[in-house]
Structure 1
Amino acid sequence: MRLAIMQPYLFPYLGYFQLLGAVDRFVMYDDVQFMLQGWINRNNILVGGKPLLFTLPLEGSSANRTIRETTVHTRLFPAWATKFLRTLQQNYSKAPHLAPVLDMVSQVFDQAAGKSIADVSLESIRQVHRYLGLPSEIVPTSAVYQNAHLSGPTRVLDICRQEKATQYINPINGRSLYTESAFDDAGVKLNFLQMENVPYKQLKGDFVPSLSVLDALMFNEPAAVHELLQAYTLV
């Protein structure tokens, strides 16, 4: 059984979904420390041919809280969501798949005020997961493993043990965090996913990479996105 573990990000980039599509079970670290200036509540969309950062407002975000303990701002969120949906509508008005993507975002943001950002970001991933028809199973750590007292590779290996995983896949930028021998000793094959260049046709100008998956969904039907998700190498 192939396993990956990631924090829940808000409409993350294509590489995140490459990892999700490469495994049988995708474990969501929703009970770990909230990372300030991370991607849990923000990402980039394309505006005027350039990336524009959007940041969902949170209430009292702090590195002393877990992702699950951090909530969407009750007062600021409704106006922010209205403005963000309008920005998508205006800047992707000529994108061929605007309507289903707007509907997806609206469903994620419906009644999001006051909810845990873990739930909102996880729902954004689940919505894309369903839209693309990916077969992997998504499992939040807070609901299953009872090992929040562990951290780092020790916790990863414990989850691998509980899941009887035979292969663990991590994004390439986490290569320095893990040693192959520790996984070998546990009977788990360790691989790292290296995303390849995946340019697709945007509205005009040079291709802008590393945007939220929303951008790819705007310009590509699900079958074409599946092809983009295969553009990686396991090392």
Structure 2
Amino acid sequence: MSGRTASNSHDTDRVLAAVHQPHYWPWLGLIDKIDRSDCFVMLDTVQFERRGWQNRNYVAGPGKPVLLTVPVTQASRDETILDKKIDNTQKWRTKHHRALAEHCYRKAPYWGDYAEEIAHLYETEWEDLAELAIATTRLLTRGFGIDTPILRASELGDFPGHKSELLAQICAKAGAHTLLSGAGAKDYLDPGIMNRHGVDIEWQDFDHPVYRQHTRGPADEFVPRLSAIDLLLNAGPDALSVLRQAGSRG
């Protein structure tokens, strides 16, 4: 397992976990969270977020960023991510693959290294959004060389809690003593509830790396917060070191 932060700022018997909803072609902040953790839990049991990042993300275009959106069916506003189905009446797989292969990353230095695996992803007939989102995440973590185990909340058990209680229950079930969380959760995470389950909180404090985006002109400004596929296809085997060197690693 990866466990970079755990091995540096915790004793070796403490397990650091991160919990997050599955995202389609997730951004670098999520990949960094997986890399820092001893185990990562995909929170697929919560409500699907409309206009969120669970079914879409940006990649670099030759001009402005390109938004890739997976169309989904609308059965109920209360659908969980686990239950969300892809609308395959639309030709989104062909559109997304063509955008990556022809429009966005054809000239990227490491496109050839991952072209076959990406093509296979889009040759697969996905039905469940969660399955697709997790597949894109696993493709990225393999490319980055991150071997942190990725679990699914739906496979760990039933968790009746909400917010802090839910995250504490998941961490406890996964055998984690510490939750790695992004700063955005400071508004709702309750340390008291977490501690009652024997779980501490560690804040991610993510610093976005700046790197050469070869698909853009040398005079163009750097575009942050794209899918992590952008760094992977631009830096290849150096992608993980670029990510890790961006900020303090404790």
Q: TM-score, normalised by structure 2?
A: 0.85
Amino acid at match of 1:29: L
Unaligned runs of 5+ in 1: none
Distance 1:75 1:56, change over 3 A: same
Equivalent-residue separation in structure 1 for 2:195 and 2:79 (angstroms): 33
Separation in 1 of the partners of 2:36 and 2:236? 20
* Cα distance change of structure 1 residues 104 and 213 upon mapping to structure 2, 3 Å threshold: farther
Cα deviation for residue 61 of structure 1 reads 6.2
| Corresponding residue of 1:100 | 113
Residue 36 of structure 1 is aligned with which of 34, 47, 50?
50
1:7 aligns with 2:21: yes
Q: Quick one: percent identity of the two aligned structures?
A: 27
**Match in the other structure for 1:218:** 233
Partners of 1:32 and 1:216 in 2: CA distance: 29
**Correspondence for 1:199:** 210
What does residue 66 of structure 1 align with? 80
Q: Return the letter of the residue paired with 2:178.
A: Q
Aligned ranges 1:167-206 → 2 under 5 Å: 167-203=178-214, 204=217, 205-206=220-221
Deviation at 1:232, TM superposition (A): 3.9
CA shift for structure 1 position 183: 2.8
AA of the residue aligned to 1:143: E
TM-score by length of structure 1 reads: 0.90
Distance 2:231 2:23 in 1: 16
Higher mean C-alpha deviation, range 218-227 or range 33-42: 218-227
CA contact (8 A) 1:2 1:169 kept: yes
Instruction: Specify every segment of 5 or more residues in structure 2 that has no aligned partner in the other structure, as ranges.
Output: 1-14
Q: Judging changes above 3 Å, is the alpha-carbon distance between structure 1 residues 96 and 17 closer, same or farther for their aligned structure 2 residues? A: same
Residue 145 of structure 1, CA deviation: 2.2
Partner of 2:41: 27
Q: Counterpart of 1:131?
A: 143
Q: What residue is the counterpart of 1:49 in the other structure?
A: 63
Per-residue CA deviations over 1:175-211 (Å, capped at 9, x if unaligned) read: 1121233333433221111221311001321110000
Partner of 1:208: 223
SS of residue matched to 1:47: coil
CA deviation map 1:116-164 (0-9, x unaligned): 10011011111112222212110101111222x3221111111222223
1:140 to 134, 152, 160: 152
RMSD (Å) for aligned C-alpha atoms: 1.9
Distance 2:85 2:40 in 1: 23
Corresponding residue SS for 1:142: helix
Q: Is the 8 A contact 2:209 2:242 kept in 1?
A: no
Q: 1:120 pairs with 132, 157, 161, which one?
A: 132
The total of aligned residue pairs comes to 231
AA matched with 1:138: I
C-alpha change, 1:222 and 1:234, in structure 2 (3 Å) is: closer
Structure number having the greater strand percentage: 1
Q: CA deviation at 1:234?
A: 7.5
Q: CA deviation at 1:100?
A: 3.0
Counterpart check, 1:85 vs 2:84: no
